[in-house]
Structure 1
Amino acid sequence: MIKVVAIVGPTAVGKSALGLKLAQKLNGEIISGDSMQIYRHLDIGTAKDSPEELAAVPHHLVDICNANQRYTVKNFQEKAKSIITDLATENKLPLVVGGTGFYLSSLVNNLNLGGKKDDDEYRQELVQLEKSGQIEKLQAILKEEDPIAYQQIDIENSRRLIRAIEVKRSTGKSIVEQNNGHKWADFYLVGLTDDRQKLYQRINSRVDKMVEMGLLDEAKYVYDHRLEFPQAKNGIGYKELFPYFAGQSDLDSCLDEIKKNSRHFAKRQFTYFRNQMDVDWYNISDDKNYQKDIEQNIMKFLGGQND
């Protein structure tokens, strides 16, 4: 069976750096599991690896879409499975790196995400509600049709709402209960975590560094094209700056909002992976040798020996 390693955990904990080291040492290639890094020209706010890092190790599912294109978890699942299968035939280790929990769950649990086409009439009705900013109606629909998913998914994310409603209607089962029972690959999930205050400091520092790198210009680009960018406009690091560009708030307040939302997102990520998936956790502050421990455990998972 195909062996896959996934690196998960809250934002800013160091997943990308670890992924690069492991890929270089274990003859691996990286598959981004992030729902925003797919977009071209959105580099700083999505925390993509640098051009040098992207060149050092082959990366997949990065810069594959324009920001005006829609991209679903089903698109990710299909593309990622194909890439993983190809890498396995080349005797390379697939390394899924990223923080979007439901994306990874779609792979690990081989979720049945429904087979309806995007142009189905009911989907267009849902999309129209999203475009008109009626997220409360989408939330009400999901709460009525799938109360289980309503309690567990991010109901502030209109894409998640639409997908959850679609899956319930097309399969009759909640999106959080989807599993077709066929295990197509063997996954080892490496989870990085840190003490809360240290993680929050890392998040705050990363936001400050993003600003130095040109986040405001990138966010202004998204703001100027927000009507054309249905998904990117909702990304953390962009949407919080819209009031600043509109003259409705000062810059410091907007940056504080990015840091706050990033911290909340990190908490949601950790909660999701801890409660929904079988993860082997490593605290990067408590375990000074965590990288060596991870390498040894991956070698055991792969059936090899560590040098």
Structure 2
Amino acid sequence: MEKVIAIVGPTAVGKSALGINLAQKFNGEIISGDSMQIYRHLDIGTAKDSKEELKLVKHHLVDICNVDQRYTVKDFQKKAVSIIHELNMNNKPPFIVGGTGFYLNSLVQNLNLGGSASGNDDLRDSLLQLEKSGKLEKLQEILKSTDPKAYDSIDLSNSRRIIRAIEVYQTTGKSITQQSNGDKWADFYIIGLTDDREELYDRINQRVDKMADMGLIEEAKAVFDNRATIPQAKNGIGYKELFPYFEGVSDLNSCLDEIKKNSRHFAKRQLTYFRNQMDVDWYNISEVNDYQSVINQKITKFLGGKYDNLE
């Protein structure tokens, strides 16, 4: 059974730093489990690791797409499985790091994501027309009435993911969250980081302020200027909230406050998803003394004798 270690948790909790630390210690490599870090030139708003950090450990599935390319959970699943196979063959433990729960769940549950469409062209055309018209809320309403389980678990800012979930349910009669192949293909140890609410919210607020200082506004302006051709990237938290500023209908501080608010809400959704959908070994970083040493011991036990090149 192949071994996979994943690090999950809400935004800004410290997943990336822990992932680099562990990959270095165990001679592993990192697979990004973030749906936005795949895009080139979207660095600040996606909280991508710095160039220096990316050099410390080999990272996969970062900067692999142009912003106008479509990238689906099925694409992630296919590429991640291939990388996991290769790393295990080379005695390198894979560390999946990221907060996109459905991406990770597609691997853990071995989800059968099926073909590219439902076979109902009229349905797909009508849904794509709503997307083209910018009617995200309408798509959300359709999903909520069609598949409440998916509505509670997938990224509701991603219109293509909503469309896919609606199609899957209309085709199979089952939620996209239940499309499991049933075969366990790998052994997963999932580490969850969390923090006290006030501490976490303070981390989020500080991160947004730091992003603004690093050039988030300029990066978001490039997204705004090309929003007609980048249906997925334009809906990312950290970008869409700044559009009113560029349109001259809101001031910058109000837009930054909106990013902070939406990031906090996103963090709550992430925690809910991971707690309800996966078997996670949780660590409150403000309460567990030397939690990294505890995690090191558990990973060593989890990997067992499979790898002969560990420290």
TM-score by length of 1: 0.95
State the match for 1:200 in structure 2.
201
Indicate if the aligned counterparts of 2:31 and 2:59 stay in contact, CA closer than 8 A.
Answer: yes
Deviation at 1:120, TM superposition (A): 7.1
Instruction: Rate the CA distance shift 1:262–1:20 in 2: closer, same or farther, 3 A.
Output: same
Indicate if the aligned counterparts of 2:118 and 2:170 stay in contact, CA closer than 8 A.
Answer: no
State the match for 2:174 in structure 1.
173
State the match for 1:23 in structure 2.
23
Aligned partners of 1:163, 1:55: CA distance in 2, in Å?
A: 35
State the match for 2:60 in structure 1.
60
Indicate if the aligned counterparts of 1:69 and 1:229 stay in contact, CA closer than 8 A.
Answer: yes
Instruction: Rate the CA distance shift 1:118–1:168 in 2: closer, same or farther, 3 A.
Output: closer
Question: What letter is aligned with 1:94?
Answer: P
Instruction: Rate the CA distance shift 1:152–1:99 in 2: closer, same or farther, 3 A.
Output: closer
Aligned partners of 2:108, 2:269: CA distance in 1, in Å?
A: 19
Question: What letter is aligned with 1:81?
Answer: V
Gaps in structure 2 of 5+ consecutive residues? none
Deviation at 1:142, TM superposition (A): 2.5
| Runs of 4 or more above 6 Å deviation | none
Deviation at 1:148, TM superposition (A): 3.5
> Are 2:235 and 1:234 aligned?
yes
Farther off after superposition, 125-134 or 255-264: 125-134
Farther off after superposition, 121-130 or 201-210: 121-130
State the match for 1:93 in structure 2.
93
How far does the alpha carbon of each residue in 1:238-278 deviate from its partner, in whole angstroms, 9 at most, with x for none? 01111011100011100111111111111110111011110
Indicate if the aligned counterparts of 1:116 and 1:170 stay in contact, CA closer than 8 A.
Answer: no
Deviation at 1:116, TM superposition (A): 2.8
State the match for 2:76 in structure 1.
76
User: Which structure 2 residues correspond to residues 203-218 of structure 1 after superposition, within 5 A?
Assistant: 203-218=204-219
Deviation at 1:42, TM superposition (A): 0.5
Indicate if the aligned counterparts of 2:157 and 2:235 stay in contact, CA closer than 8 A.
Answer: no
Aligned partners of 2:248, 2:151: CA distance in 1, in Å?
A: 35
Aligned partners of 2:137, 2:262: CA distance in 1, in Å?
A: 20
Aligned partners of 2:266, 2:175: CA distance in 1, in Å?
A: 23
User: Which structure 2 residues correspond to residues 1-307 of structure 1 after superposition, within 5 A?
Assistant: 1-117=1-117, 121=121, 122-304=123-305
Q: How many residues align?
A: 307
**SS of the residue 1:114 aligns to:** coil
Indicate if the aligned counterparts of 2:118 and 2:171 stay in contact, CA closer than 8 A.
Answer: no
Gaps in structure 1 of 5+ consecutive residues? none
Question: What letter is aligned with 2:54?
Answer: L
How far does the alpha carbon of each residue in 1:189-230 deviate from its partner, in whole angstroms, 9 at most, with x for none? 000011111111111111111111111110000011111111
RMSD: 1.8
Instruction: Rate the CA distance shift 1:176–1:246 in 2: closer, same or farther, 3 A.
Output: same
Deviation at 1:115, TM superposition (A): 1.3
Aligned partners of 1:114, 1:126: CA distance in 2, in Å?
A: 19
Deviation at 1:132, TM superposition (A): 1.0
**SS of the residue 2:227 aligns to:** coil
Deviation at 1:53, TM superposition (A): 0.9
Question: What letter is aligned with 1:215?
Answer: L
Instruction: Rate the CA distance shift 1:165–1:117 in 2: closer, same or farther, 3 A.
Output: closer
Indicate if the aligned counterparts of 2:118 and 2:167 stay in contact, CA closer than 8 A.
Answer: no
Indicate if the aligned counterparts of 2:5 and 2:96 stay in contact, CA closer than 8 A.
Answer: yes
**SS of the residue 2:94 aligns to:** strand
Aligned partners of 1:261, 1:192: CA distance in 2, in Å?
A: 20
Aligned partners of 2:61, 2:157: CA distance in 1, in Å?
A: 25
**SS of the residue 1:227 aligns to:** helix
Aligned partners of 1:11, 1:147: CA distance in 2, in Å?
A: 24
How far does the alpha carbon of each residue in 1:8-66 deviate from its partner, in whole angstroms, 9 at most, with x for none? 00000000000001111101000000000000000000000010111111100000000
Aligned partners of 1:169, 1:119: CA distance in 2, in Å?
A: 10
Question: What letter is aligned with 1:148?
Answer: K
**SS of the residue 1:128 aligns to:** helix
Indicate if the aligned counterparts of 1:114 and 1:166 stay in contact, CA closer than 8 A.
Answer: no
**SS of the residue 1:96 aligns to:** strand
Instruction: Rate the CA distance shift 1:25–1:204 in 2: closer, same or farther, 3 A.
Output: same
Indicate if the aligned counterparts of 2:227 and 2:234 stay in contact, CA closer than 8 A.
Answer: yes
Farther off after superposition, 100-109 or 161-170: 161-170
Aligned partners of 1:136, 1:289: CA distance in 2, in Å?
A: 44
